[in-house]
Chain A
Amino acid sequence: MARPGIRPLPAGAAAGAATAPGPARPWGQLRPGVVALLAAALALCSLIWMFQGLGGGNRSFILWLRAVKLAGLITVGASVAVATVLFQTVSANRVLTPSIMGFDALYVLLQTLLVASAGVTGFAAIDPAAKFLAEVAVMVLLAGLLFGALLGRGARDIPRMILTGVILGVMFRSISGFIARILDPNSYAVVQSVSFASFGRIDATLLLPGAAIAAAAIAAALVLAPRLDVLALGRTAAVSLGLRFDRMVVMSLALVAVLVSVSTALVGPVAFFGLLVAGMAHGLASSDRHAVLLPTAGLIGALILVAGQTLFERALAQPATLSVVVEFLGGLFFLYLLLRGRIR
């Protein structure tokens, strides 16, 4: 019986294999096409962002301002994208995002508690970088404690974990809401400003530590990529193959906590953006290997934010609307997933 070869293709045949319906790409082989294309598109958008309409005035000042914002958008886009892909892998579910587990609600609660206890002046007086690092640490610790306790019985009950996360998220939001109600109006205004997403207000002081932490977390996710592939097979198969499943789940959730902290600190909570990006990455990458999926998702996330902000700020003169549009599109995509029955 004639049978298409399963033998590994020589490296040179990679490009052909990616398009041909016949032989599958062998283990671990990347598909450089999509990733390279996305990287090129991101570079192009970044150049337009940096140099479009650059007048003769204070060039270095404008360039610096733009560079900070660009770096912030790329950091946030990549962080949200990678966090969502990681979370979807752990939960084996394509319609979940970390915000469903209450990760960003936890972050907002921390902010609210801080404002309530330190007051507006105290809140403003804290060194932003130190505060940010402490917040990331607390987030990882709390996420570790909460989800570590949930996973104590061996991470076998993912649906229970997610339900608990949803309930915790509602609880965090309610507590934040309650505290916000009893705050004085000035403090309330501060809480309000951290509780809503705005891609326009990236804090330059947080950018350097944020970008560094996000880069480290994304690098860690890339190192873990082959193990994430095994994790995605489900608990029985993964344990049978010798993966330390429970530890891998906790590590992935810790990375999610770090990345969500970074993006929430920089622009505020975003709910559906990650969903949109992860869905697009799964569609474009055409391989569910995380070594391909994670860079694809990260680049798509960064590209959408940079291109979107360029469009809205420069062409449409509506710098504040990007978060609304992105969330709207993400929400539509969520409905599409629901209607297409893509939920497993």
Chain B
Amino acid sequence: MIRIESVQHHIGPAPILSDISLELPKGRLTALIGPNGAGKSTLLRLVARLERLQAGRIAVDGQDIARTPTETLARSLAIMGQHNNVASRLRVSELVGFGRWPHHRGRPRAADHAAVAAAIEAVDLGPLAHRFLDELSGGQVQRAFLAMTFAQDTPWVLLDEPLNNLDMAHARALMARLAGVVRESGRSVVTVVHEVNYAAAWADHIVAMKNGRIFAQGPAEQVLNEALLSELYGTPIEVSSHDGRPLVLHHHAHSEAELMIRVAS
């Protein structure tokens, strides 16, 4: 469990997060949703110690991130950022190999090579393992970085908007893969998602944020309803159902007035 207690964050005078207290459940796929500027990425980056914690306390499986050595945390928690470009010219297998760094600190063993091969296989990059990253498409590079976080073999995997740059086939495949990782290896995944329907379709737990505060949290079917989503995004949103999962219809509003009535009732 990741326990976040009264975390606040400012950039200059601007408050980014105000008084966040939250528990992220273990062994689940958690989606962080909310409008732009809600503070989702900042919260994720604070948990991953990419930003310095200004106020409050964050503990990953009982390890206080401010006090635990960063080398130890690297075996509990992996994060994949939004912008993945590397200055070095690396092959896919080399990049994924870096995922094992927290375990061997520069001296890989046979088990590390096996874990790298398995991670590359898990994202279907086997045939491209020996290509250089600059010879791949944006989506393939993204998958290579995902393989690196998988190879790190941590109980917690944090992803900051992993669906950026992915077409719908790859986006769905990625979410299915994350759900599979959670189901099969019991790892916990926390991901920032912009397209609510991916959260609706795959997430076990949803945390909705707005204006630097937790707006709502709970299972998908509880959080993803018309009234809550309309208020969260500040625009009328219809929610239907498909295959027993909520289906959010936000792309098109047929009649603004009609929607407002539906939401109000």
The listed residue (A24, A229, A235) touching B88 by CB distance below 8 A is A229
Given the known A-B contacts A226-B106, A230-B101, are A240 and B79 also in contact in the complex, defined by CB atoms under 8 Å?
A: yes
Report B-chain residues with C-beta under 8 Å of the C-beta of A341.
none
Q: Does B105 contact A (CB under 8 A)?
A: yes
A243–B69 Cα distance when bound, in Å, is 10
A242-B87 in contact (CB<8A): no
Proximity bits, A214-246, B CB within 8 Å = 1, else 0: 000000000000110110111111011111100
Task: Assign chain A's interface to a size class.
Answer: 35 or more
Q: Are A240 and B113 in contact (CB under 8 A)?
A: no
B129 touches A234 (CB 8 A): no
Chain B residues near A232 (CB, 8 Å)?
86-88
Residue of B nearest to A282 (CB): B89
Q: Which of A3-11, A176-184, A264-272, A295-303 contacts B (4 or more CB under 8 A)?
A: A3-11
Contact for A89 among B71, B87, B97, B149, CB less than 8 A: B87
Number of residues on chain B facing chain A (CB within 8 A): 53
How far apart are A4's CB and chain B's nearest CB, in angstroms? 6
B108 in complex: contacting residue of A28, A230, A237, CB < 8 Å: A28
Which residues of A21-77 have CB atoms within 8 Å of chain B's CB atoms? 21-24, 26-28
A233 and B89 form a contact (CB under 8 A): no
Other-chain contact of B127, A3, A88, A93, A233 (Cβ < 8 Å): A3
CB <8 Å contact, B105 and A226: yes
Given contacts A3-B127, A89-B87, A226-B106, contact A241 B113 (CB under 8 A): no
Question: Which of B81, B85, B94 is in CB contact (< 8 Å) with A27?
Answer: B94
CB within 8 Å of A: which B37-75 residues:
48-52, 70-75
Tell me the minimal C-beta distance from A236 to chain B in angstroms. Answer: 3
A148 CB, nearest partner CB in chain B, Å:
16
B148–A237 CB distance below 8 A:
yes
CA distance A239 to B160 in the complex (A): 15
Q: Compute how far the CA of A3 lies from the CA of B83 in the bound complex, rounded to whole angstroms.
A: 29
How near does chain B come to A234, taking the closest CB pair, in angstroms?
Answer: 6
Residue of A nearest to B70 (CB): A242
Q: Which A residues are in CB contact (< 8 Å) with B110?
A: 8
Chain A residues within an 8 Å CB radius of B77: 240
How far is it, in angstroms, between the C-alpha of A232 and the C-alpha of B133 when the chains are bound? 14
Q: Is A1 an interface residue (CB 8 A)?
A: yes
B237, CB-defined interface residue at 8 Å: no
Question: Which residues of the other chain, A, contact B83 by a CB distance below 8 angstroms?
Answer: 234, 236
Q: How far does the Cβ of A119 sit from chain B's closest Cβ, in whole Å?
A: 47
CB distance from A280 to the nearest CB of B (A): 15
User: Please, which residue of chain B has its CB at the minimum distance from the CB of A5?
Assistant: B117
Residues A1 and B102 in contact, CB atoms below 8 Å apart: no
User: Which residues in B have their C-beta under 8 angstroms from that of A235?
Assistant: 50
Q: Does B191 have its Cβ within 8 Å of any Cβ on chain A? A: no
Contact of B50 among A6, A24, A226, A236 (CB under 8 A): A236
Is B99 at the interface (CB under 8 A from chain A)? Answer: yes
Tell me whether B262 is interfacial, beta carbon within 8 Å.
Answer: no
CB distance from A223 to the nearest CB of B (A): 10
Contact partners of A230 in chain B: CB under 8 A: 98, 101
Find out whether the CB atom of A22 lies under 8 angstroms from the CB atom of B127.
Answer: no
Q: Judge whether A288 is part of the interface by a CB distance below 8 angstroms.
A: yes
- Not counting A234-B81, A239-B79, a sample of 10 additional A-B residue pairs whose C-beta atoms are within 8 angstroms of each other reads A27-B94, A27-B113, A232-B88, A233-B86, A233-B98, A236-B50, A239-B49, A241-B99, A241-B102, A288-B90
A: residues with CB less than 8 A from B are 1, 3-4, 6-8, 21-24, 26-28, 88-89, 92-94, 154, 226-227, 229-230, 232-237, 239-244, 282, 288, 344
27 inter-chain pairs at a CB distance below 8 angstroms, sorted by A residue, are A6-B93, A6-B113, A6-B117, A7-B113, A7-B117, A8-B110, A24-B130, A26-B108, A27-B94, A27-B112, A88-B87, A226-B106, A229-B88, A230-B98, A233-B88, A234-B84, A234-B85, A236-B80, A237-B86, A239-B50, A239-B70, A240-B74, A240-B80, A240-B81, A241-B102, A242-B102, A243-B101
